Each structure stands twice: as structure tokens, then as C-alpha cells.
Structure 1
């Protein structure tokens, strides 16, 4: 298989790609990338940098040939994939963490002699990829109501009309901080209200159920340990358990979960629709015979900034 040659896209070309994406929101990203003749990673980068591209277009009239790429483009591509995955699980990422991860990637790419994760590099990298640093609040960013309305009116009905309610499933993950103490307590009026260090030990749990509530799939639980001591002498679990070094959902774990789900539906001679959020840990280029995977619109952009 021959690899595509990288092409420097102008601002105007990137705007055209964004326009075609908006017009074909039902189409899978991998299919759209193929129809445009660009790698899927290029399309994802353009979508992630939409705001920066549109701002540059206003300033330059779309005539500038390209946004300047970094010298270590492969390193930054890998770093951004890791960054998106980390933010998808709501893990706070700051400058030192990004620099440390970049240094680790440089070692694996054997470019550590040339690459220095300096503050200057970090500033330039953030500008290239539209990353900002913000205060984390308790609530997620508000969704684009027009985007939601369009998806609910024009996209969702054609998807579900071929399926019975019992065959339309939705899945989502959440972080379970199982050692986290309550953040409120009864205290004496004159007592100083303070607590100890908050535990950051967590599990990731994926839950999946159908739209009429008649069926719930076994939960998928992701922990750090391959063989937790608490599982000793346990012959059967009420869930599926997988291990990942940070207890995060990854593209590989999600794909494996789908690959296990599809044969079970084949065995039941049943076809289902699975609707899931547009998360970096959920690979888009998946296809199965009895499980049709569709993604919610990307209505909550992931950003960090000043």
C-alpha cells in the first residue's frame, strides 16, 4: 500500500474542506477524506483547527498558502492524538505535562538529540493547533443548539427508522473515582472546614442500553491492573474487565468491545444501531455486519487556553 504524499493546503482549500464536511455531516470522516483525496488525519486536524483557520481566512482573505508547520510534524501529530484522548476523559493538561509527553515521544521517534521541549516550542505548538489554557469549571461547555437541532431533525430520523426501539442502543463512558470522599460535611460552627488530599484513583466505565429500556449490555470496566488482587478466587464477573495503564478508554479497547459485540448480534440474527459520542477514543473507520455505529455531532469542542 503506497502512502499519500503530503500536500500543503491553502487557507481557501481548508475552508472548502470545512464547507464540504458541513454539507456531508452524515458521511463518515474516513469516507469524506477519501472523496477529498486527503488522509483522515489531515481532515481531523482541519476540523480541530476550524476556529484558527476561519480567523486566518478573515485576516488574509484565504490567500496565504499554508499555516506554518512545525519542524517535528510527526511528533506533534502523535502528541495531539494523545492530548485529545486525555481531554476526552477530562484529564487536566498543563504546559509541563505537554512538554514531558513531547520529550517522551521524541525519544521513541529517536529525535531527542534534535528536539527540545522548550517554552518557546510549546507556545508555537499551541498556536499551530489552537490550544489555549483555561480555568476548568464544573460544567461542560454549552452545546451549539443549532447543530443539535439540525442533527435531531435531519440526521437522526433517517438513522433510526429502519430499527425497532429495542435495537437502537446508546453507549457512553464515565470516570468512577471510587475512593473519592464527599466534598461536604457536618462541622462545628467554629471548626475549620478542611479535608485531606483527594484521591485520584479511578476506573472508566462504559454503559450501553437500548432506547426502550428493555436491555442493558454488561458494563465495560477499565482499570489499571491486569489482575487486580480483589479478583482473586472470583470465577465470574457481572461486567467485562480490561486493563489500561491509566484506566482510560482507548481506540483499541473500544474497537475490541465492538468486535466482541458484533458476533453476539450475528449469533442472535439481530442487527442493531449503536449511537455514541464523537470522542477521539472512538475510532470512526469501523464497520461491522450486524452493528451499525453512528456518531453524535461534535458539539462540545475540546480546548485548553489563555
Structure 2
């Protein structure tokens, strides 16, 4: 994944180190045009799944070397024997391997299109080989243009077709994972073979070696699925993001009427009594992987805390804490040895989670003492927390419910 900010930082450092002779000045239209082209190039790279850099060295513009006034005695044709002969051109021998690995299909098309462009007035080819060579200096001799035409007609050289297979398979993989679909090695190989047949790449076998290289290039590995979601959830992702966006826009308008210390957010947070990891490094081929904890009960049970924060980043006192007690109440023996903190309101339930009555208790003990002359509270959509009776009687108070499934995106205490 390319971070454009890092690219900009590196570019800035290179300019400072290599082009230090240039001093800062006002920006002119030409510089704005160059910067715009840089941005479009970077944006194209970020939006693509793969990219190839090609270098061309030239000091001319396309139109400066058009040979419109020079008669071209050779007719426009795609055969080698009719290409413009240049006596002082050194015809460097190139083979199939060189063409495939030094010229992309897009580059070949640009060379051929440039060389074959027709003068609309004369009806003949606009440029001679000398001009094309000056524009595309990587092309060693005129025979390459005829070879380029053959590759273009065939859909590219073998390496180009293999690259197209790679791009297609990766796009299919990205689409599947975007929809949380399971993907296996056999799926990648089937997609590769399907695309290869479409490109008439009949000797492509999607071998184990190709599969390993493909996964290595794109950083793909086998991972344990840690969460399952229904197809309905996947299909509603766009609705969830749109709901979050609308809520933020509407709430921002309302927040303008409040000061930062008048805007509050609260969230119920479950905490495991003993935190443990779900994965570990161990020996390959191990049939059963075990992990050790002090207490199985503590590793599967949690208590709940509910903090309140303000828009300007302050955590308000007291903190609400709900323990889990089998009886639903704290025993007398526990009370005797329990540490009493002034900034904690302690309660309990059978599940360790908050009920309607416990949420009401939180309002009385924690929220009301922190109310301002005006207060806006942002809460998630837990049923007991959004019940109107809970906030009944509070003056100069307003609360907004964060839409379901959007809290990981926009709730301050979650992001």
C-alpha cells in the first residue's frame, strides 16, 4: 500500500538535497500545470492494482519534429521491408525475450500510433523513422515497429498476457475479500486458467510455482477466520457508511450551538477479568494448540465500565463500574474488604452488564452531576441506553443516538 503523504515527503527531501540551488518564489501557471500532472500520475498509481515505470529521454515536443514538409516515399504498411531505411541507424539485434521484458503493451501501442499517424491533408504517414526514434529512444531499430504491430494484433507478447492474468486474478481476489467471501488456492488457479484461455495463452498452467509467486507478490497468506457475517450485512455496508456520514453532518450542525465541554459521549465497555491472546507461535503440524490462563472463568467473563468524555477531551468523574455477581448483589463479606474510591460508582448484576434500572442509576449518579447549563449527549443504540424514560425530567438536555453498526467508525470512544 502506497501512502501519498510519504511519497510527498520523500519527494520534498529529494528536491531539498538535489535541487538546493532553487530558491522559493511565487507559483506561476506553468508550475501549477506540472504539479497537476504530478497529482494525476500519483492518483492513477494509487487507484491501480499494479504499475510499471517506463523512462523516455527527449528534449522535444511532439509537434516540433513532424516531418510534414518532407516527402515520405514509402507507403504505409505493416511489413518490415517497407519501414524507412536509415543508413546511419545501428540495428541492434533483439530477440523475443528482450521485447517481452523491455516494452509494455501500452508502450508498443504508443510507438505504433505515433509512427503511423496520418497527415489529414496529404493522406500519408506524418512521421519518418528518424522522428519516431528521436521521440522513443528506447526502440533500437525500425524492425521493432513491425514486431510491435504483431504483438498488438495478438493481444501482446506472452509476458504481457501473463501480466494481464495476474491483474485479473488479483482484481477477482480483491472483489471476493471485499465481500468477505472465502478464497482458496484452487479459486486463484481457476481464475488464472480462465483468463489465460481468453487470451489464447494455452501453455499457461497456473502451476504451484506461479501460485506461490502470485501470493508472495501481493502479500496473500492463509489466515484463520475470526468473525462470520451474514450476506445481508455485507450488502448493507454502503448503507451503513451513508448512515454514518449523514449522522455526522447533522450532528455537526447541532454541535455549533454548544461549547466543547457541553458535548458528551459515553459508552459501555466490557472488560475481561483475565486478558488472553487468541493466537500463538508454535510447532508446525501440532494437532492441538493449548494456551494457559489462571482461571477459565475469568477468561470468559467480564465486567462493564462506562466512562463519560467531553468534546474537548476531558474524562469526567465518577467512573461507573458494574461487576458480575451470581446473586445480583454484592455480598456483605465482599463489602467489608472492598476498596472504596471516591471517583468510582460501583454496582453489580448477574451478567456483569447494565439493565434498565442500572442505566437509570448511572444517569442519577454519574450523568446528572456533570450536566452543564446545556448538554448534548451522544450515545450508541443499546436498548436500555436510549429508552426515553431514562432521561425523563432532565432540563436543557438533548441526546442523539448513533446509528446501529456505525460506532466503530464515528463514536469518539470507539475510534
Length-normalised TM-score, structure 2: 0.34
- TM-score computed with the length of structure 1 as normaliser: 0.45
Larger relative contact order (Cα-Cα within 8 Å, sequence gap ≥ 6): 1
Of structures 1 and 2, the larger Rg is shown by 2
Compare the two structures and name the one with the higher helix fraction. 2
